[in-house]
Amino acid sequence: MLRVVFLISGQGSNLRAFLDSCAEGMIPATVVAVGADSEAPGLDHARHFDIPTFVEPLERGGDRDEWGTRLGDRIDTFTPDLVILSGFLRLVPPSFVRRFAPMLLNTHPAYLPDFPGVHAVRDAFEAGVTETGASVIVVDEGVDTGPILAQRHVPVVDGDTESTLHNRIKIVERELLAHVVRDIANRETAIEES
């Protein structure tokens, strides 16, 4: 079983879908811990499954490298094979990336390289595109610039709001993430050092 640590910042609906799929035997992985940068509501999904949680905040004006080291030390106590950022809204420092990459994934609500950054859905919506998408990438030291492991387009439909569009994108994000982790666990996808 692939040991996974998940990091979130908010509702954790992608985390919940991942946990449900693991519980149903659809993904040969076990989430060994869920971390957050604040007391995120999504941590309750981990508690529901009796999975350990931890919170490692980056204080205002705090040193990002030191925070990254603390966060990494917390993660390492769970000896994960893979770390997944999904809805984790903090930029991790390069030292953190070097510590965990390439087994460090991020889900992103756009068809990269289009619309990187934390406002990807809003940016796509305001740009008036007719389709955007979802991507699963390996985290590198840039902002959403790492190797793309899977991605799919999602159409923008009449009547969409940023929120309805994001909800449809998240459904695709969850499918892509499940697919990627399944392939890694089954060794059908080899993630190379970049």
Binding letters toward ligand GRF, positions 153-172, x by CB under 6 A: -----------------x--
Answer for which of 109, 111, 136, 140 binds ligand GRF (CB under 6 A) is 109
Active-site residue, from 45, 48, 108, 166: 108
Smallest separation (angstroms) from ligand GRF to the CB of 118: 7
Alpha carbon separation from 74 to 7, 9, 37, 128, 163 (Å, rounded): 11, 16, 12, 41, 33
Burial class (CB in 10 A: 0-12, 13-18, 19+), 49: middle
**107 or 132: CB nearest ligand GRF:** 107
Residues 121-140 interacting with ligand GRF (rule: CB under 6 A): none
Asked if 88 and 97 count as a contact pair (C-beta separation under 8 A), the reply is no
Asked if 36 and 6 count as a contact pair (C-beta separation under 8 A), the reply is no
179 is catalytic: no
Answer for which of 4, 5, 14, 146 binds ligand GRF (CB under 6 A) is 14
**What is the distance between the alpha carbons of residues 181 and 169, in angstroms, rounded to a whole number?**
18
Q: Is 94 in the site for ligand GRF (CB under 6 A)?
A: no
The set of catalytic residues is 108
